[in-house]
């Protein structure tokens, strides 16, 4: 089954394409990292793929189903979730309400984030907008896990998280992948992605410049590509 595939994706905001001819695939049970410096097109690629930015060309396929432009509802119906860079949390709703709203009916993830992160139950009644940035990041990740029965895409995975929580989040991601969920994790930290992902991609100036299985040599190349020029 084609879980998630972008072919020749070209997209951007308004009338200006920013990412061009992106070919990308995530298979069931695969943990894929997408790295790149700020402004290289990572977020735009995901927003375009999930129908939140303008698609000028290319194809998006989720669970063997072609997804038309500007249809963010369809990937969700097909079991794909997306946590955007702004976390996608409803600030006036409680933590519990945020999670319940995201939960895919009839689906129980292999790892329930509420069993891993005490914050989600200890602060269940607190409005999500009153949490710290890192705490909101955790709520956003939990929402993505509860909604993504087939695919989970997370933009800026480690943003605002302390190192111990980053490790826990990535352990959850690894267990979900082992259960057959595909994950696409975007982050600026090459060490995080090359340590935990089976395959890593790098974007530069709106194009993919690397797509390789992670090895020691790959990790070195990723680091070299992300050095500020």
pLDDT tens for the 229 residues of the chain, in order: 899 999 999 999 888 899 999 999 999 999 999 999 999 999 999 999 999 999 999 999 999 999 999 999 999 999 999 999 999 999 999 999 999 999 999 999 999 999 999 999 999 999 999 999 999 999 999 999 999 999 999 999 999 999 999 999 999 999 999 999 999 999 988 889 999 999 999 999 999 999 999 998 888 888 888 875 4
Domain ranges, residue 75: 4-226
The CATH number of the domain holding residue 72 is 3.40.50.300
> What is the rounded distance in angstroms from the CA atom of residue 223 to the CA atom of residue 182?
24
Structural domains of the chain, count: 1
Widest Cα–Cα separation across the chain: 49
Question: Are the C-beta atoms of residues 79 and 104 closer than 8 Å to each other?
Answer: yes
> What is the rounded distance in angstroms from the CA atom of residue 163 to the CA atom of residue 178?
23
Question: Are the C-beta atoms of residues 4 and 62 closer than 8 Å to each other?
Answer: yes
What is the overall mean pLDDT for the chain?
A: 95
């Amino acid at each position: 089954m084609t879980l998630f595939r972008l072919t020749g994706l070209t997209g951007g905001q308004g009338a200006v394409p920013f990412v061009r001819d992106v070919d990308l695939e995530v298979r069931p049970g695969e943990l894929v990292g997408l790295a790149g410096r700020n402004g290289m097109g990572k977020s735009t690629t995901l927003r375009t793929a999930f129908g939140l930015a303008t698609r000028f060309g290319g194809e998006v396929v989720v669970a063997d189903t072609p997804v038309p432009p500007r249809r963010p509802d369809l990937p969700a119906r097909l079991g794909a979730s997306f946590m955007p860079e702004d976390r996608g949390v409803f600030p006036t709703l409680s933590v519990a309400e945020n999670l319940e709203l995201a939960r895919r009916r009839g689906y129980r993830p292999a790892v329930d984030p509420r069993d891993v992160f005490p914050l989600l139950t200890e602060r269940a009644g607190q409005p999500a907008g009153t949490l710290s940035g890192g705490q909101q990041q955790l709520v956003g990740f939990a929402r993505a896990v509860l909604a993504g029965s087939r695919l989970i895409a997370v933009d800026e995975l480690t943003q605002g998280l302390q190192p111990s929580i980053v490790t826990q989040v990535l352990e959850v991601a690894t267990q979900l992948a082992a259960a057959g969920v595909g994950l696409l994790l975007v982050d600026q930290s090459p060490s995080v992605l090359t340590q935990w992902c089976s395959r890593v991609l790098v974007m530069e100036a709106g194009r993919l410049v690397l797509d390789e299985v992670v090895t020691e040599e790959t990790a070195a190349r990723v680091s070299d590509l992300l050095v500020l020029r």
